[in-house]
Amino acid sequence: AAGVIQSPRHLIKEKRETATLKCYPIPRHDTVYWYQQGPGQDPQFLISFYEKMQSDKGSIPDRFSAQQFSDYHSELNMSSLELGDSALYFCASSLIGAGIAFFGQGTRLTVV
């Protein structure tokens, strides 16, 4: 069965650079969620989209932005990267009515 695809799997950036993370949800899923997980921490909710509109927002820095496109894939854009942005970034998708969110394998971002 198709799963949530995230790319790239690993990314190394320098401070003050920009990074773009991509998420391809399970086909027919209408909701996408983004999470950040720092070293030794629990996943923190960043933002979600339902039918291409932002549906909820968590502790997402102003330097980060995200959107969901017409084909339902989503991108998380991160600018002015800081060392503290080094983390695993997970994307999940669901059918809003069914409720079960399936997570991708994550993108490991390292800022040097």
Site of interaction with another protein (CB under 8 A): 4, 31, 33, 35, 37, 42-45, 48, 50, 55-56, 58, 88, 90, 92, 96, 99-106, 108
Nearer to another protein, 67 or 102 (CB): 102
Amino acid (one-letter) located at 102? F
Rounded least distance, CB 81 to another protein, Å? 20
Nearer to another protein, 67 or 79 (CB): 67
Asked if residues 47 and 98 have their Cβ atoms less than 8 Å apart, the reply is no
Question: Which strand (E) or helix (H) includes residue 35?
Answer: strand 31-37
The encoded tokens of residue 15 equal: 């401070």
